[in-house]
């Protein structure tokens, strides 16, 4: 596909500095974009030096960005670069052909299953007894929908994704490659002799609309009731959600986050990569947790920002980190003071 810079600017409500008739055919990285490519400057502090000499045909830059020197490329200024690029990519993605409705001959669909005629079931996919697959939903090759499971409209199960028995998924949900939704949780109890006994998990997983579950992420079914992901939740790759967890609307977790059983997370929470969370704790709406932090206690103040392991408020964490950086210098000062003290003792005759 081809667009002029003017067409892109009109789509994004941007202003042009340079040639409005220049032709664009794809989006490139600002570090190495070339002729015919549109690059973007969403982080001026890190990438501004690349922007000035970029060989891209056009650059998207923030409306308020003050250039230190002229750009080689034509510039389109927009209010929010990341939003603009996301919108362009969505429009481009909408032009990519989707699989045709129908069931591949190699797929297995149980006679009692309900698959909408507008859905696509790919090669070697499996749809179990009494399962439901909605209109416009795509099951890629080797994906799995267990007995009694339900998928809404316009969902995507990528290759190897597993939606196990009895789990319920809303509309426009994306389950990415090799994720597992609805496996048993890590629930065991000890006998008197110390041996572990597995606790049956008789509940399910409930996922509301517009949720994304990343590749190789696992969401355990509940012991009773449901493990719940509310509308708009976004989970990155390799996230672990244990049994009976509830995650409220528009909360996001980066890669390798681990959430232990029965934790309750509020709305619009942000969890950085490798955050670890103890079971049965509560996080209030809007909490932000920095990468590699460890949470052992609930955080009940909305909008709190915490860092470290164990996690603590940002100001406390920053003060402690500052103190730690001063320790080597303090140790040298202590050594000097000890020398001075020894000299004073010798001079005064004190033993």
Name the residues annotated as catalytic: 243
Whole-number Å distance between alpha carbons of 219 and 232: 16
For residue 256 the two structure tokens come to 């390798």
On whether the CB atoms of residues 138 and 121 are closer than 8 A, the answer is no
Whole-number Å distance between alpha carbons of 36 and 88: 15
On whether the CB atoms of residues 321 and 313 are closer than 8 A, the answer is no
On whether the CB atoms of residues 96 and 113 are closer than 8 A, the answer is no
Whole-number Å distance between alpha carbons of 335 and 14: 62
Whole-number Å distance between alpha carbons of 8 and 339: 71
Phi (first) and psi of residue 283, to 5 degrees: -115, 130
Residue 186: Cβ within 10 Å count: 14
- Give the sign of the dihedral formed by CA 172, CA 157, CA 206, CA 115: positive
Residue 75: Cβ within 10 Å count: 22
> Residues 6 or more apart from 179 whose CB is under 8 A from it?
161, 162, 213, 214, 215, 216, 217, 218, 219
Rg (CA), the chain: 27
Q: Are strands 212-213 and 234-235 parallel, antiparallel or unpaired?
A: parallel
On whether the CB atoms of residues 32 and 22 are closer than 8 A, the answer is no
Whole-number Å distance between alpha carbons of 57 and 30: 11
Whole-number Å distance between alpha carbons of 203 and 244: 9
On whether the CB atoms of residues 72 and 51 are closer than 8 A, the answer is no
């Amino acid at each position: 596909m081809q667009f002029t810079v003017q067409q892109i600017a009109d789509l994004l409500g941007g202003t042009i500095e340079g040639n409005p008739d220049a032709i664009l055919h794809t989006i490139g990285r600002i570090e190495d974009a070339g002729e015919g490519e549109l690059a973007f400057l969403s982080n001026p502090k890190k990438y501004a030096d690349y922007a000035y000499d970029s060989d891209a045909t056009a650059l998207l830059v923030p409306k308020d960005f003050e250039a230190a020197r002229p750009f080689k490329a034509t510039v389109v200024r927009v209010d929010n670069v990341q939003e603009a690029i996301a919108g362009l990519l969505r429009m481009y993605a909408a032009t990519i052909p989707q699989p045709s409705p129908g069931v591949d001959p190699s797929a297995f669909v149980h006679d009692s299953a309900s698959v909408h005629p507008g859905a696509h079931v790919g090669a070697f996919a499996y749809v179990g007894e009494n399962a439901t697959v909605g209109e416009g939903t795509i099951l890629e090759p080797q994906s799995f929908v267990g007995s009694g499971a339900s998928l809404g409209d316009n969902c995507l199960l990528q290759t190897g994704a597993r939606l196990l028995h009895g789990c319920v998924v809303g509309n426009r949900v994306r389950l990415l490659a090799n994720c597992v939704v609805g496996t048993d949780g890590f629930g065991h109890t000890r006998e008197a002799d110390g041996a572990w006994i597995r606790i049956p998990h008789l509940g399910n997983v409930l996922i509301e609309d517009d949720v994304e579950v990343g590749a190789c992420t696992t969401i355990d079914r509940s012991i009773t009731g449901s493990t719940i992901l509310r509308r708009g939740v976004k989970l990155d790759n390799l996230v672990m959600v244990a049994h009976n967890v509830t995650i409220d609307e528009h909360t996001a977790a980066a890669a390798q986050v681990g959430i232990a059983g029965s934790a309750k997370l509020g709305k619009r929470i942000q969890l950085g990569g490798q955050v670890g969370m103890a079971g049965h704790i509560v996080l209030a709406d809007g909490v932000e947790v920095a990468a590699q932090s460890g949470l052992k206690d609930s955080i009940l103040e909305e909008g709190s920002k915490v860092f470290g392991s164990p996690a603590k408020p940002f100001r406390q964490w920053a003060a402690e980190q500052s103190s730690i950086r001063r320790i080597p210098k303090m140790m040298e000062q202590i050594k000097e003071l000890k020398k001075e003290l020894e000299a004073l003792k010798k001079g005064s005759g004190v033993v």
